[in-house]
Structure formats: structure tokens, C-alpha cells
Chain A
């Protein structure tokens, strides 16, 4: 029962705060000999698996490290292009680690803005009068909860589907935001939140929510 991450989006749709509480890393490291039977391709400045799913290596997984050294974008740690490196038989046997690519901060910014728009479209396409935007989005591995305040700030929490008490947690995060970000004289509205007390209190609120499984009121 975990809470994966928290995002705070301002009323223009820009991400102003992001915290990853728990990032499960499903990775697989294997040693390969020439020729490589997994087809790789370039995608978004990364090298990803496009065909040849097996043994924990799925389509869409990115190359995370080669021979123990973390890759940098499309190049190995030494700066050589990965696909060129893997075409050369003299580099084999090679040990490659595959896994879900971590989101860069740019990607998180884009995803937060994307959600901001989807939230609004959810409200527009409503078959009922007076609907809010998307408050909860469910998939088979996570549930995304969103709380929009009266001022247009959205608090988004990604959690395990079975985690309960997220509504109370969202209200608590709003309380922490108003106490430690808004009341901070050095914080400007709608700007990225860089307040230590906000971070600390958010982390402890998440711990309480995860432990209790159910966030009590009045904590």
C-alpha cells in the first residue's frame, strides 16, 4: 500500500511542485552475446526496446546501463552511440540493464500540463450538469487522485489502487500548502515551491497516510 508521488499544479497548468515518494524500479540486467536478439530503437533521446520482449525485458523499456556504467541519453558513458556500440561484435559479451525509464523533469512538466488540460476536457464532456474535472483516474497498477481548490491549484497524488484515505490526504496537503508555502513571505504565488518546511511536513503526512492506510481527520 504505497503512495508513489505527489504533484502540485498551478492554475495556469504549470507544475510547481513534485515529489516522488516511492519509485519501484523493475529492472533486468542480462549478459548478451553477438548478435543481439532484441531490437532497439531511438525514442525521445533514449534507446528503447522495440521488439524481442523476454525474461523481464519488455517493449518500451529503456537501456539504463551498459557493462555497469549508466548510459547518458543515446550514448554510453564514454560518449559512443549505443546502437553503433552494439553493432560491433568486438564489444561482446556485453551486460545491459533494461528497465522503465525514469521521467526527466521536463517530461514531468509536460505530463502535469497535459493532465491540467485533460481535467478540463473531462468536465466539458460531462453528460451531467455541473460536473467537476477528473477527480480520480484508475488503471490496473495505480490510481491518480486530483483535488482542485477554489483558487485553481490542483493537488495530484499517484497511489496504489488499494490505498484508502487519499481524499483526506489531499485535504491535508492543501493545509500544508497554505501553512508552509502561502504563509511564507518569500514564496511568490504560482511559482515553484521551494520551502523546506513544506517538504518536511509533506513527507511526514505521506508516511502517516501510508502507515495508517487511512488518514485520520484532525491530525
Chain B
């Protein structure tokens, strides 16, 4: 039961924040390329889902899973995208991501007069609160390395 990593993208595709807690395998490409690939994959999945869907969708793409991990996706109406990879035991992290947006991002970044929106989030308070929140999640447990 664990959270692997978390990405926050803005609506132009730039990665505002990335942190990892329990990542076992790196992607084999540089971090910049990985962010672009992740954003591109999500963009394509969203377009794929909107075309493929047999009915009109309200929320769209929610999550996907592979044999080893699950990716949860949450997009705000302003185009901010939250992506979290967890292991398979977490069925739904949507409320977690919504909480991260409304209680952490809005509180510590948007309401911060020093933080410029659209640039990388470098608020230490945000990072430490986010870290504490993730570690306090019921489904987080630090695995022995």
C-alpha cells in the first residue's frame, strides 16, 4: 500500500511540481523528457477517451492500471492536472487529489503573493505540507528499501 510519485502539470504542459516517495524504477530518460512524455501520454489518453466513449462524459478519464501500478488523474477546470501513481491496492485517489488541490495548492500557492502561477512551485511550505499529507494517507506505508 503505497504512493509512488506525484506530478502537477499546468495547462500548457509544463510540470510545476514532481515528488517521489517510493519509486523503484526510473524511466530511463531525463526528468524533462519524462515530464513531457507523461503530459503527452495524458493528453493523448484524454483525446482517445473522448472519441472512444459511447456516451457523453462528465468527468472523463479517471485512472488506469497496469499489472504493477495505478495512475490516478484529476484535472481542475482551470486546466491544472494532478497525476499520482500508486500501487494496485488504492482503488480511488480522486478525493486525495481534490484535497491536494483545494487544501494545499490553493492555500499555499494561489494565495501566496510571492508565488507566480505558471512557474515551478518552489514554496517550501507547500512541499512540506504535501509530504506530510501523503505520508499521513491511510494507504501510504514506506516500504523497506
Q: Footprint of B on A, CB under 8 Å?
A: 4-5, 22-24, 26, 58, 60, 100, 103, 107, 111, 114-115, 117-118, 121-142, 144, 158
Contact = CB atoms under 8 A, between A and B. Distances in A.
Contacts of B38: 125
A135 B64 CA distance: 8
9 closest A-B pairs (Cβ-Cβ)?
A127-B4, A131-B68, A132-B67, A128-B68, A137-B64, A127-B23, A140-B59, A141-B55, A129-B25
A130 B37 contact: no
B51 A107 contact: yes
Contacts of A144: 52
B63 A131 contact: no
Contact of A100 (B24, B49, B55, B66): B55
Interface string B58-72: 111111111111010
Contacts, number: 118
Interface in B80-94: 85, 87
A58 B56 contact: yes
Contact of B68 (A114, A132, A137): A132
Interface SS, A side: loop
B24 A127 contact: yes
A139 B48 contact: no
**Contact-size category for B:** 35 or more
A126 B51 contact: no
B24 A140 contact: no
A141 B57 contact: yes
25 contacts: A5-B54, A24-B54, A26-B56, A60-B50, A100-B56, A114-B48, A118-B45, A121-B37, A122-B64, A124-B28, A126-B68, A127-B5, A127-B25, A127-B69, A127-B85, A128-B69, A129-B24, A131-B66, A132-B66, A134-B65, A138-B63, A140-B58, A141-B54, A141-B58, A142-B53
Nearest to A108: B52
A178 B125 CA distance: 58
